[in-house]
Structure 1
Amino acid sequence: MILDAETLEHGASLEADLCIIGAGAAGISLALQFLNGPARVILVEAGQRIPDAASQALYAGEVADPALHSPPDTYRQRQFGGSTTLWGGRCMPLDPIDFRARSWMPNSGWPIGPETLAPWYPPANKLCEAGEYDYDARTAMPGGMKPMIAGFTPADFSAEGIERFSLPTNFGARYGHRLEASPHVKVLMGTSCTGIECSADGTTVQTLRLRTLSGRDATIAATRVVLATGGLEVPRLLLAARGPGHENGLGNAHDLVGRYYMCHIAGTSGRLRLNLPRGAVQHGYEVAWDGTYIRRRLSLTPEAQERLGVGNAVMRLHFPRIPDPSHGSSVLSGLYLMRWLLPYEYRKRLAGTEGEGVGPTLRHLRNMVSDPFSAMDFAWTMLRKRKLSARKFPSIIVRPPGNVFSLDFHGEQEPNPDSRVTLANSQDALGMPRLRVDWRWAAGDLRTAEATYGLLATELAKWGKGSLDFDPKEIAHDMLRDGAYGGHHIGTARMSASPTTGVVDADCRVHGMHNLWVASAAVFPTSSQANPTLTIVALALRMAAQLKRDMGQPSQATKPEAVVQG
């Protein structure tokens, strides 16, 4: 059942066997596994079914360096469905090397291995609606996918790994009806968790305090509590929960909550020239038998990562930078000139001084006039395949003239304890301290990007049918131009075998707490090259099975309830 918290009596006291704070990808995936009871589950969501400005304002906060990080109320949504209401849908599992403690990657290593998550990735893939769980280009399509660059088989890169795309699925809209129909799961909308109160010894959560924007209060006494509020809000709740036994916040005895904040190092740079026929280069998407969009990318091999002492990284063929009118594309110029019509998350990526001023603007206009039919065809295709389609075309794909591409880089960031989020001195409308974000990059992050570009340039030169030109200074500029990458908020409550090195244990239970868990990318010890959503859902499904065992309920590792119910 789904209830508006405003319908509760002021001061209402509720009880639950399990309370989940946050109805995004993790919280909804977790709650779906308890639809048939017998456990009493309460899922608390601060927002509503549709965007609400007053609720979203509760995410506002401070940023140490605005040039490096977007305001905290962007790239995440305080709404039923959480950030799945605005994500791009890109899915892929972590790589085996991501779980390893690597001597060349500071503070790396997970207390679990890839085999631990292996049973949970296929059902997570299904919940994300990313098609069949097959991330190998050789088997994802009958006869295999088309080669990215025909004849190019570099020793230090693989082009066999792929990424799949969700609809993208809004978990609130897609699965809300299942939650609404369940007598065992109660969803409380429009109320925020403003306090976590513990036992005298500080080891057991006893009461959760809730408050609506109108000032209506309620409490929940829950046997088990899961924080599923995302990589920024998790540390905010933990740090704000101060009391006997946890004077510095829950799970923060070693000052680790909020530290090791990672996103990804990402950007578009370089000029890749390929001396091949047009049909020998596949830079766009293919469509699987079930309609899922899939795409190859170049992945740096584990052996190359170790030899070079760098992080995990992938590259995709990309069109030239949109703001620079020298690309000569009417489509790209049209996108740049109409960028103000796009949402903030996409508009920010089109920023660039090379497109500003009267001269560049006139050149963009000339590009559009020179080839108006391509721009019109592109607009119609995007309207038909993205705006009007249930499974949306994932991104802009424009064939650059002359087989000259840039490379879209997405790389792992070093876990850095000085990159962190803390509580600000200001408060939100509910009296909760706001966040202060101090995201930092390390020299190793840029080294990963520069080494990957350099290695690919060497491989292309050996091959003889292509070349990659890049400037290391340009690489550094392009990777940091937008600062922290989008909505990937990772590592702020990291998983570890010991409380001296992390916040939660291998089961995502807060160290030193009997009944408090975290379901979020906050628990990732390293960021990998991969977008985090698929792994967030897989961890949530694993957690649901563990909680069921703890409650004495049966659990099927490969058949979560939300999947077998259709």
Structure 2
Amino acid sequence: MITDAREIPAGTTLRADLCIVGAGPAGIALALALEESGLDVIVLESGGDAPEPATQQLYAGTVANAALHPPPEHYRVRRFGGSTTLWGGRCMPLDAFDFEARDYVAHSGWPIAFADVLRHYPQANALCEAGEFAYTAEGAFAAPLRPMIGGFASDVFSTHTLERFSCPTDFGQRYRARLAKGRVRVLQHANLCRLPMLAGSTRRAGAAQVRVLNTTDAPDATGGAAFEVAARAYVLATGGLEVPRLLLNSPGPSGRGLGNAHDAVGRYYMSHLAGTIGTLDLAAAQSVWHGYEVTEEGIYCRRRLALRPQQQAALRAGNFIARLHHPRIPDAGHGNGILSALYLARGIVPYEYAKRLYDGTPEGYAGSTLAHLNNVVADAPNTARFLWHWLRRRTLAVRKFPSVIVRPANLRFSLDFHAEQEPNPASRVTLGDETDALGLRRIHVDWRYTQQDVATVSRALAALAHEVERAGVGRFSYDPAQVEAEMTRYGAYGGHHIGTARMGRDARTSVVDADCRLHEADNVYVTGAAVFPTSGQANPTLTIVALALRLAEHLKGAADLGALPVPTANHSEPA
């Protein structure tokens, strides 16, 4: 069932076997997986079904370097469905190689095997509505596909792995009716403020302290009624920035934050290294296809250039993939009416996409508006066909065409890359001095990259340039001196907030164990990208859902969960 926490009388204590905090992809997947478990489950969600400025403002904080990280309230949505309400839908699994410890990637290695996650990927794929779990061209398509780059064969880069695309599926909208009819109790407008330790215990959290906002439609809302949720166990599923905030705002047995006895909470903060660089001239290739293929299920798929695992080791580089990309939009010199139309529409493009579409400079190049208008007029038939396609396949479609695909007439592409970031303990999320409307200290984000990150991109690009020329399909030209500037042009990539409550065996360098339970609390778990020890090259949503399903399996089979008593409290649930 779904109810509004604003209707709960102040001072009430609700009791449950399990309390899940957050109704994004991790929290909703976990709740759905526990529907028939027999456990009494409560889900706390800060927002409602629609955007609410005052609730969203709870995400605000500060950043150490605005050029390297967006404001903390961007790329996150504090409402039912969480980040999937703005998700682009790209799905892909991590690679088996990502789970291994590598001596050239500091702090790498997972305490679980790839197989432990692999068996949950098919169900995760289904929840994400990305079709069957098949991520190679051979596995997803019965007939051979046209080559991505005709004549390109390489032992260094593959071209057969796929990205699959969800609708994209808004988990809140898609699964609301199912949760509304089910046994799981979802409380909207319920904000976890603190998770104190149980009186007399140094190993168990007691009743969660929850508050609502007095108003949710104005940015100056204040804290409202408070109540408690007393559960046998708790799961934080609030995302890679909010998880450390909640842990650090709860003192824990050390007084330094729940789970933070060794100052590991908030450290190792990763995103992905992403950028657009150079010119890939493929005029000499037998053929080029950089668009989408559609499976029999109707799922959009796209191939990319992927650095093979053995070559990652040989180059001492992290995981890396690249896609053929259109010329840079702000420069009207591309002469393309479609790209110029996108430039002229920049005022209505959401921040999350404008930053990359316009190279981080939405104002573009001075005096270029007229040149863009000329491109649109000169290329009017092509532009009109694109707009009609976009209306039918994107704007009005349930399963949306994933992105802008423009084929340059001269087959000169830019290269869009997406790479693994090395875990770095100096890259971290801490608490700032400001407090929000509920009295919680806001976060301060200090995202940093390392020279290994620069080396990953530099070595992969150099290897790709060599392979393109060796195969005789063209030439990739770029300025190696500009690699670091290009990979940091957008700073921390979008909404990929990874590693801030990392999984590991050693409590001194990690926050949760292999079961995603806090090292220092027997009844508190974390799920989501916060627990990833490394980022890999893959967008995190599919793995977030798979790990939530893995945690659900553990909780259903955990003998110790049922044995834990529900914390005592001074109040009881109303009849």
Q: TM-score if structure 1 supplies the norm length?
A: 0.95
Distance in 2, matches of 1:355 and 1:363, equals 14
The reply to whether residue 144 of structure 1 matches residue 153 of structure 2 is no
Q: Cα offset for 1:356?
A: 3.5
CA distances 1:446-468 after superposition (whole Å, capped 9, x unpaired): 21111111111111111122100
What does residue 567 of structure 2 align with? none
What does residue 560 of structure 1 align with? none
**Structure-to-structure mapping, 1:30-41, within 5 angstroms:** 30-41=30-41
> Which secondary structure does the structure 2 equivalent of 1:198 belong to?
coil
Q: Cα offset for 1:476?
A: 2.1
Distance in 1, matches of 2:107 and 2:21, equals 29
What does residue 237 of structure 1 align with? 246
The reply to whether residue 370 of structure 1 matches residue 378 of structure 2 is yes
Paired amino acid for 1:224: A
Q: Cα offset for 1:170?
A: 0.5
What CA RMSD, in Å, does the superposition of the two structures yield over aligned residues? 1.5
What does residue 296 of structure 2 align with? 289
What does residue 523 of structure 1 align with? 531
- Sequence identity (%): 53
**Structure-to-structure mapping, 1:88-127, within 5 angstroms:** 88-127=88-127
> Which secondary structure does the structure 2 equivalent of 1:346 belong to?
helix
The reply to whether residue 482 of structure 1 matches residue 481 of structure 2 is no
Q: Is the 8 A contact 2:99 2:113 kept in 1?
A: yes
**Cα distance change, pair 397–201 in 1 and its aligned pair in 2 (3 A):** same
Q: Cα offset for 1:37?
A: 4.7
What does residue 329 of structure 1 align with? 336
Q: 1:299 aligns with which of 291, 303, 306?
A: 306
Greater alpha carbon shift after TM alignment, 125-134 vs 357-366: 357-366
Q: Cα offset for 1:355?
A: 7.0
CA distances 1:403-443 after superposition (whole Å, capped 9, x unpaired): 10111100000101000000010000111110100001111
Distance in 2, matches of 1:163 and 1:469, equals 26
The count of residues paired between Structure 1 and Structure 2 equals 551
Q: Is the 8 A contact 1:241 1:249 kept in 2?
A: yes
> Which secondary structure does the structure 2 equivalent of 1:174 belong to?
helix
Where does the alignment leave 5 or more consecutive residues of structure 2 unmatched?
215-223, 563-575
> Which secondary structure does the structure 1 equivalent of 2:210 belong to?
strand
> Which secondary structure does the structure 1 equivalent of 2:207 belong to?
strand
What does residue 561 of structure 1 align with? none
Q: Is the 8 A contact 2:190 2:210 kept in 1?
A: yes
Distance in 1, matches of 2:363 and 2:284, equals 30
Paired amino acid for 2:344: L
The reply to whether residue 546 of structure 1 matches residue 554 of structure 2 is yes
Distance in 1, matches of 2:186 and 2:290, equals 43
Q: Is the 8 A contact 1:46 1:192 kept in 2?
A: yes
The reply to whether residue 84 of structure 1 matches residue 91 of structure 2 is no
Paired amino acid for 1:226: V
What does residue 178 of structure 2 align with? 178
| Moved >6 Å (runs of 4+) | none
What does residue 413 of structure 2 align with? 405
> Which secondary structure does the structure 2 equivalent of 1:331 belong to?
helix
What does residue 394 of structure 2 align with? 386
The reply to whether residue 228 of structure 1 matches residue 237 of structure 2 is yes
Distance in 2, matches of 1:412 and 1:37, equals 36
> Which secondary structure does the structure 1 equivalent of 2:368 belong to?
helix
**Structure-to-structure mapping, 1:324-363, within 5 angstroms:** 324-352=331-359, 356-363=364-371
What does residue 425 of structure 2 align with? 417
What does residue 319 of structure 2 align with? 312
What does residue 47 of structure 1 align with? 47
What does residue 198 of structure 1 align with? 197
Paired amino acid for 1:194: C
What does residue 10 of structure 1 align with? 10
Distance in 2, matches of 1:10 and 1:354, equals 47
Paired amino acid for 1:198: M
Q: Is the 8 A contact 2:346 2:362 kept in 1?
A: no
Paired amino acid for 2:433: N
Q: Cα offset for 1:552?
A: 8.7
Q: Is the 8 A contact 2:196 2:250 kept in 1?
A: yes
> Which secondary structure does the structure 2 equivalent of 1:280 belong to?
coil
Q: Cα offset for 1:358?
A: 4.6
Distance in 1, matches of 2:327 and 2:97, equals 31
Paired amino acid for 1:130: A
Q: Is the 8 A contact 1:324 1:354 kept in 2?
A: no
Q: 2:257 aligns with which of 242, 249, 253?
A: 249
Q: Cα offset for 1:144?
A: 2.9
CA distances 1:248-306 after superposition (whole Å, capped 9, x unpaired): 001111101000000000011110011247x8211010000011000111110111111
Paired amino acid for 2:136: D
Distance in 1, matches of 2:362 and 2:315, equals 33
> Which secondary structure does the structure 2 equivalent of 1:139 belong to?
helix
What does residue 557 of structure 1 align with? none
What does residue 467 of structure 1 align with? 475
Distance in 2, matches of 1:338 and 1:283, equals 24
Q: 2:505 aligns with which of 492, 497, 501?
A: 497
Q: Is the 8 A contact 1:22 1:44 kept in 2?
A: yes
> Which secondary structure does the structure 1 equivalent of 2:386 belong to?
helix
Q: Cα offset for 1:94?
A: 0.5
Paired amino acid for 1:342: V
Q: Cα offset for 1:500?
A: 1.4
Distance in 2, matches of 1:70 and 1:27, equals 25
Q: TM-score if structure 2 supplies the norm length?
A: 0.94
CA distances 1:73-123 after superposition (whole Å, capped 9, x unpaired): 000100000000001110111001100000111110000111111210100
Distance in 1, matches of 2:476 and 2:38, equals 60
**Cα distance change, pair 330–9 in 1 and its aligned pair in 2 (3 A):** same
Q: Is the 8 A contact 2:328 2:358 kept in 1?
A: no
Q: Is the 8 A contact 2:354 2:362 kept in 1?
A: no
What does residue 264 of structure 1 align with? 272
Q: Cα offset for 1:354?
A: 10
CA distances 1:292-323 after superposition (whole Å, capped 9, x unpaired): 00011111011111111110000011111111
Distance in 1, matches of 2:364 and 2:529, equals 37
What does residue 63 of structure 2 align with? 63
